[in-house]
């Protein structure tokens, strides 16, 4: 009888120890913050600067993981319009952004015109300089010129507007090589596949394989403005709002300015 009692006591003790251990693990588990993943659709021209900002932000907010989807603003806008799960949109054009506001995908109070940029004509750095301005694109030896697809790539739209403004579009249209985004334009020029391309100044500054031949007069095209905004149906609105606010902070604006963006 005594042996049975000791056995029962031992089993009860083991049960209590196991229960306490389980409760402790439960507390530890509940105390652990689950990582939130934010999906941000951003214009291709923002890739380098947002990589720097991402590192800084995630160091300060270890509970948040930023996942970027880069591409042409028009393509990204269409994806969001069709229901793609995105938390924040950072566009290189107001009209693409405004479509999402009109559709109700972004509330007006959750959007801001954050940055500006400049449009430049670039040529391969090692090429013999035969292009010094936009009118030189009419030269016979300049057989291929790259710009983004105007319907989906804002930089391509601005480039076409500039060509039309100075009345050279009809003369060079047959030379145009269209690209899916501004970074592809830059790549075509870097590799010498085209004689020239039109990109943002910020893109030209990151490459040591191209030279800026000329800058477009701001009056030649629509104002280049980069709006950012929170997607209304974001599943992580509070975290998206925090990153949205961070983009407007002095710390983030300093980084953006250092990369050539206009922040004032």
Same structural domain for residues 150 and 233?
no
pLDDT at 133 over 60: yes
Tell whether 7 is covered by a domain. Answer: no
Average pLDDT in the 41-51 region? 96
pLDDT of residue 184: 97
Comparing CA positions, the residue from 107, 103, 44, 54 lying closest to residue 76 is 44
194/178 Cα distance (integer angstroms)? 11
Domain that holds residue 178: 119-220
pTM of the model: 0.81
* Domain co-membership, 99 together with 147: no
Sheet holding 145-148, edge to edge: 176-179, 145-148, 196-200, 119-124, 210-215
Residue 122 CA, distance from chain mean position: 22
Instruction: Write the CB contacts of 21 (distance below 8 Å, at least 6 apart in sequence).
Output: none
Flag whether 174 is in a domain.
yes
- Assess if residue 11 is contained within a domain: no
What average pLDDT does this structure show over 8-18?
A: 45
Which residue is it, tokens 């391969």?
Answer: 124
Are 111 and 130 found together in one domain? no
What whole-number distance in Å separates Cα of residue 29 and Cα of residue 172? 64
CATH number, domain at 147? Answer: 3.40.190.10
User: To the nearest whole percent, how much of the chain has pLDDT over 90?
Assistant: 84
Q: pLDDT class for 221, splitting at 50, 70, 90?
A: very high
Q: How many domains does the chain have?
A: 2
3 state SS of 245:
helix
Whether 79 and 203 map to the same domain: the answer is: no
Are 257 and 251 in contact by the 8 Å Cβ rule? The answer is no
Are 60 and 187 in a shared domain? no
Give the pLDDT mean for 222-227.
Answer: 96
189 and 228 fall within a common domain = no
Residue 31 and residue 40: Cα distance in Å, rounded? 28
Domain shared by 208 and 128, yes or no: yes
Structural domain includes residue 29: no
Check: CB of residue 194 under 8 Å from CB of residue 177.
Answer: yes
pLDDT band at 33 (very low <50, low <70, confident <90, very high): low
Same domain, 131 and 98: no
Q: 137-169 pLDDT, tens per residue?
A: 999 999 999 999 999 999 999 999 999 999 999
Shared-domain flag, residues 140 and 186: yes
């Amino acid at each position: 009888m005594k042996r049975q009692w000791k056995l029962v006591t031992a089993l009860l003790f083991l049960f209590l120890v196991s229960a306490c251990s389980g409760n402790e693990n439960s507390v530890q588990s509940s105390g652990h913050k689950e990582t939130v993943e934010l999906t941000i659709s951003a214009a291709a021209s923002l890739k380098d600067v947002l990589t720097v900002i991402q590192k800084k932000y995630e160091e300060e907010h270890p509970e948040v993981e930023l996942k970027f989807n880069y591409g042409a603003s028009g393509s990204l806008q269409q994806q969001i319009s069709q229901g793609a799960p995105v938390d924040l949109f950072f566009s290189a054009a107001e009209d693409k952004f405004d479509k999402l506001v009109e559709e109700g995908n972004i509330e007006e109070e959750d959007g801001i015109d954050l940055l500006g940029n400049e449009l430049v004509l670039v040529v391969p750095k090692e090429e013999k300089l035969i292009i010094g301005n936009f009118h030189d694109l009419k030269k016979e030896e300049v057989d291929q010129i790259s710009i983004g697809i105007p319907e989906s790539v804002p930089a391509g739209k601005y480039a076409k507007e500039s060509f039309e403004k100075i009345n050279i579009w009809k003369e060079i249209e047959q030379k145009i090589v269209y690209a899916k985004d501004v970074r592809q334009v830059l790549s075509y020029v870097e590799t010498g596949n085209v004689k020239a391309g039109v990109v943002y100044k910020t893109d030209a500054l990151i490459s040591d394989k191209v030279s800026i031949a000329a800058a477009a007069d701001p009056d030649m095209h629509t104002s280049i403005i980069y709006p950012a905004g929170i997607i209304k149906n974001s599943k992580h609105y509070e975290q998206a709002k925090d990153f949205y606010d961070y983009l407007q902070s002095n710390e983030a604006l300093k980084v953006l300015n250092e990369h050539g963006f206009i922040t004032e």
